[in-house]
Amino acid sequence: MRVDAVTLFPEMIDRPLSESIVGRARTEGFLELGFVNPRDFTEDRHRTVDDKPYGGGTGMVMMAEPVYRALKKVRKKNSFVILLTPKGRRFDQAAALELAEKKHLVFICGHYEGIDERVTPLADMELSIGDYVLTGGEPAAVVVIDAVARLIPGVLKKDDATVNETFTGGLLEAPHYTRPGVWRGKAVPPALLSGNHKLIAEWRSGTARELTAKERPDLAGPVPAEKKPGGRSKGFKK
């Protein structure tokens, strides 16, 4: 997959995505990441990319023309352009799966008070990662690229690594445990130590539904009585 970002601050995206799994994906060629800076498409000696908003108000607004020219530089026939904006579609795992099917993603990252609204029609999708204010679109781009990159075939070494995890199927993932079997008086649920794959699968499925109903009822309905899992250690909270 190829990903380009239209951004005034490439390092804000490049550095976080140079480590761990995504960094390895770039090194191994699963993900190509490029940047184009609107400042390179200005015509004045100050390389001006922003100006005061019409109608007054605080802050500065990114000008449409430099962003347009930067986007034109990287946009291809198969490109899918994403404008990161608070009014966009809420980003979730379903959106990540959709974007992972694309061959070329282009992210437009606003900064300051945002981008001239006349840029919006240039995007194929408006996307938001949540109801809060960031310094710019760059941190949001990092979040989306990270979530999408791990879904690219070959990035995660186990083929089923993305199958049974949080938000897959609309549920939180069941809790995880590792050695030792008892830590500070808290024991691993017996089902996970049984060696019985069917029992383990039932425990994880039931626990996922129970956990989702308790912690994120907006994702799923209440857990049916007959599906509530057994064998959980008392007093242990994730």
- Mean pLDDT in residue range 27-33: 98
Range of 30's domain?
A: 2-149
- Mean pLDDT in residue range 35-63: 96
Burial class (CB within 10 angstroms; exposed 0-12, middle 13-18, buried 19+) of 28: exposed
- Would 159 be classed as within a structural domain? no
CATH number at residue 188: 1.10.1270.20
Confidence of residue 167 (pLDDT cuts 50, 70, 90): low
- Would 155 be classed as within a structural domain? no
Which is higher by pLDDT, 237 or 212?
212
The reported pLDDT for the residue numbered 22 is 98
Look at residue 236 and tell me whether its pLDDT is greater than 60. no
What gap in Å lies between CA 46 and CA 37, rounded to an integer? 14
- Mean pLDDT in residue range 153-177: 77
The reported pLDDT for the residue numbered 166 is 56
Looking at the fold, whether 189 and 74 belong to one and the same domain comes out as: no
Residue 92: CB atoms within 10 Å: 14
Confidence of residue 159 (pLDDT cuts 50, 70, 90): low
Which is higher by pLDDT, 230 or 67?
67
Query: What total number of domains does the chain contain?
Result: 2
pLDDT digits (tens, 9 = 90+) for 203-226: 999 999 999 999 999 986 544 444
Looking at the fold, whether 193 and 107 belong to one and the same domain comes out as: no
What gap in Å lies between CA 56 and CA 68, rounded to an integer? 24
For residue 203, give Cα distances in angstroms to 93, 102, 124, 172, 235: 23, 35, 42, 14, 17
Of the chain, the percentage scoring pLDDT greater than 90 comes to 84
Looking at the fold, whether 9 and 92 belong to one and the same domain comes out as: yes
∠ CA(205), CA(209), CA(215), 5° rounding? 140
**Collapsed DSSP state (helix, strand, coil) of residue 234:** coil
